[in-house]
């Protein structure tokens, strides 16, 4: 038998983190996150990992271990749990986020097992898991030391060495070093910062920058960050309290996560510091701060509606300030955030955002010196970069080589790759077939390449609907064809151009015997060529045929 590390997803993309450790009849899943749709994925809400291998081996699965509370590490858990009901383990804050998410998907009564990274050890099948604290942009993040029959493996996604974190709990480097003292077979760790020189900056400095901006504002302050970034919310709250402003949370995700964090002791503020939106609207403008959802510019989010002047309760106007404390990092979000920023500026609102170098956001991912420090502490024999793209993996490999690693001991895994460890040796051992699974509304995996291609075509060139009546007995047209288009030609052109096209189609169909199937195929083929010849566009052709 061999220890198998399967990088199911989360290697060539920054999101969709899901990793499998397998030995004999025991298997662990570490993290289970969502991805975000690219712009060309019209109508797709989420991208989730392909769970086929896990479902096929559900009898081996002992648990899902979760490292921290970001969506790209917890967001797909409800989809997996619907098919494979196994225990989930995480820290206290992350458990609160997961249980809320499960409830949102109608999964009731499922409790997450909470461990204390200062003292707990988990025994799951042949695996012994020892968690330890790491620093990240969300509190209560951990790495895992996983004892296996082949040796100790460290799994350390999304970390940096921040000695002054907002929650006061830095990377437990002493525990990590102690755990590594007996030897490290392999480390699978964050590579997203491998192209960035130096150490990643501490979160601590941001609070002063927020205060410097907010202290000069005579109107309302709107502060936006991702809903799971409790540390950043704490800093905004600290500033508001210091400046005598009351805070209103705006947005379901912001409100719910802030409530969970406060109930669990991760968000602290005086009882009168937070008010409802209704109460906030009655306060003087210079006495309120809104912590509002929509930092990625999501259409329909609260900040999006404020920017368009469509929010039913609050507005942004001259004298107000909007502070973005986050980068438009997920794929496909940059254009959306740019749109919201431009709309706010157009309304003469002062906006502090990512293109202005004010350092209102620092990465939660370790840069080159953080990565080298981790290597020096753990001293692994083998290296597996995770949580980045191909260029980040290559930069991570270069760092490992500079630290003395052998080239053959640094893997650059693709989605589904299997890395095996046996008798102290590691090697690539094949691949588990995987694909992107797209979530569209209530449908999971029922949107494939053909559907996306059709949606792309509709978005680019529109649709032409052709109404045909055919005499079933004579196999000829019963009446003149009618063509209706949407998103193809201007409304004023429809009668002239489409009317003339219908006459040409009628001439072609009248010259031959047709049934329903032949009329369908001929109409599509003829109009696709004709429309492209005349307009340079290829609308979707949809014949509607009635036999009489």
Please state, in angstroms and rounded to a whole number, the distance separating the CA atoms of residues 129 and 147. Answer: 6
Confidence tier at 456 by pLDDT (50, 70, 90): low
Tens of pLDDT, residue by residue over 74-96, are 999 999 998 899 999 999 999 99
Where in the chain do CATH 3.10.20.580 domains reside?
446-547
DSSP 3-state percent helix, strand, coil across the chain (nearest 5): 30, 25, 45
Tens of pLDDT, residue by residue over 377-427, are 999 999 999 999 999 999 999 999 999 999 999 999 999 999 999 999 999
Tens of pLDDT, residue by residue over 234-267, are 999 999 999 999 999 999 999 999 999 999 999 9
Q: Is 347 in contact with 378 (CB distance < 8 Å)?
A: no
Q: Among 157-171, 374-388, 474-488, where is mean pLDDT lowest?
A: 474-488
Q: Among 164-178, 180-194, 315-329, where is mean pLDDT lowest?
A: 315-329
Tens of pLDDT, residue by residue over 492-539, are 555 678 878 888 887 777 777 777 778 778 888 888 888 778 777 778
Where in the chain do CATH 3.40.50.10710 domains reside?
203-352
Residue that wins the pLDDT comparison between 472 and 364: 364
Please state, in angstroms and rounded to a whole number, the distance separating the CA atoms of residues 233 and 223. Answer: 9
Cα 118 versus chain centre, distance: 29
Mean of the pLDDT values across residues 114-124? Answer: 97
H or E segment to which residue 143 belongs:
strand 142-148
Mean of the pLDDT values across residues 465-489? Answer: 78
pLDDT score for 519: 78
**pTM as predicted:** 0.81
If you count DSSP H runs as helices and E runs as strands, how many of each does the chain have, helices first?
Answer: 17, 26
3-state secondary structure of 16: coil
**DSSP secondary structure of 487-501:** SSS-HHHIIIIIHHH
Q: Just give the CATH number of 203-352.
A: 3.40.50.10710
Q: Which residues pair with 274 in a beta bridge?
A: 247
Please state, in angstroms and rounded to a whole number, the distance separating the CA atoms of residues 386 and 390. Answer: 10
Confidence tier at 437 by pLDDT (50, 70, 90): confident
Where in the chain do CATH 3.60.15.10 domains reside?
3-199+363-434
End-to-end CA distance of the chain: 69
Q: In what order do the strands lie in the sheet with 221-224?
A: 246-250, 288-292, 221-224, 321-324, 350-352
Tens of pLDDT, residue by residue over 298-334, are 878 999 999 999 999 999 999 999 999 876 555 557 7
Q: What is the DSSP letter of 60?
A: T
Establish how many alpha carbons lie within 13 A of residue 526's alpha carbon, considering only the half-sphere containing its beta carbon.
Answer: 17
pLDDT > 70? residue 50: yes
Q: Just give the CATH number of 3-199+363-434.
A: 3.60.15.10
Residue 108, classified by CB atoms within 10 Å of its CB into exposed (0-12), middle (13-18) or buried (19+), is: exposed
Please state, in angstroms and rounded to a whole number, the distance separating the CA atoms of residues 294 and 302. Answer: 6
Q: From 1.10.10.10, 3.40.50.150, 3.10.20.580, 3.30.70.1450, which CATH number describes the 446-547 domain?
A: 3.10.20.580
């Amino acid at each position: 038998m061999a220890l198998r590390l399967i990088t199911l997803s989360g290697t060539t993309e920054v999101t969709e983190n899901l990793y499998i450790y397998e030995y004999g009849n025991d298997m662990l899943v570490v993290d289970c996150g969502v991805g975000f749709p690219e712009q060309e994925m019209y109508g797709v809400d989420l991208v989730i990992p392909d769970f086929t291998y896990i479902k096929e081996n559900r009898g081996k699965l002992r648990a899902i271990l979760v490292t921290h509370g970001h969506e790209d590490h917890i967001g797909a858990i409800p989809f997996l749990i619907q098919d494979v009901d196994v225990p989930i383990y995480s820290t206290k804050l992350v458990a609160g986020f997961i249980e809320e998410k499960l409830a949102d998907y109608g999964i009731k009564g499922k409790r997450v097992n909470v461990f204390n990274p200062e003292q707990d050890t988990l025994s799951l099948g042949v695996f012994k898991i020892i968690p330890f604290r790491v620093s990240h942009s969300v509190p209560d993040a951990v790495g895992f030391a996983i004892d296996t029959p082949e040796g100790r493996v460290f799994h350390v996604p999304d970390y940096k060495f921040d000695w002054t974190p907002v929650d006061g709990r830095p990377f437990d480097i002493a525990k990590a070093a102690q755990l590594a003292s007996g030897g490290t077979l392999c480390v699978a760790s964050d590579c997203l910062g491998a192209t960035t020189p130096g150490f990643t900056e501490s979160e601590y400095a941001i609070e002063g920058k927020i205060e410097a901006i907010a202290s000069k504002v005579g109107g309302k302050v709107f502060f936006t960050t991702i809903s799971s970034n409790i540390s950043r919310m704490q800093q905004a709250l600290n500033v508001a309290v210091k400046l005598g402003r009351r805070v209103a949370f705006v947005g379901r995700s912001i409100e719910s996560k802030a409530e969970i964090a406060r109930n669990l002791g991760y968000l602290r503020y005086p009882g009168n510091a937070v008010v409802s939106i209704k109460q906030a609207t009655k306060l003087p403008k210079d006495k309120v701060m809104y912590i509002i959802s929509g930092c990625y510019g999501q259409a329909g989010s609260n900040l999006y509606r404020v920017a368009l002047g469509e929010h039913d309760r609050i507005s942004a106007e001259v004298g107000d300030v909007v502070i973005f404390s986050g980068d438009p990092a997920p794929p496909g979000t940059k254009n959306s955030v740019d749109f919201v920023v431009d709309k706010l500026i157009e309304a003469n609102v002062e906006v502090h955002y990512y293109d202005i170098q004010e350092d209102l956001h620092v990465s939660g991912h370790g840069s080159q010196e953080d990565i080298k420090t981790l290597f020096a502490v753990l001293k692994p024999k083998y290296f597996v970069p995770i949580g980045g793209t191909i260029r980040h993996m290559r930069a991570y490999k270069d760092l490992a080589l500079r630290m003395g690693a052998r080239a053959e001991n640094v893997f650059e895994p693709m989605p589904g790759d299997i890395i095996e460890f046996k008798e102290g040796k590691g090697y690539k051992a094949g691949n588990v077939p995987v694909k992107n699974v797209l979530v569209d509304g209530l449908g999971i995996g029922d949107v494939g390449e053909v559907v996306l291609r059709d949606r792309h075509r509709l978005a680019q060139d529109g649709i032409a609907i052709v109404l045909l009546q055919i005499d079933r007995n004579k196999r000829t047209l019963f009446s003149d064809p009618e063509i209706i288009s949407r998103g193809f030609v201007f409304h004023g052109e429809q009668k002239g151009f489409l009317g003339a096209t219908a006459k040409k189609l009628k001439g072609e169909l009248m010259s031959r015997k047709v049934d329903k199937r032949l009329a369908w195929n001929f109409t599509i083929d003829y109009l696709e060529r004709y429309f492209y010849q005349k307009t340079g566009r290829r609308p979707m052709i949809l014949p509607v045929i009635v036999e009489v």
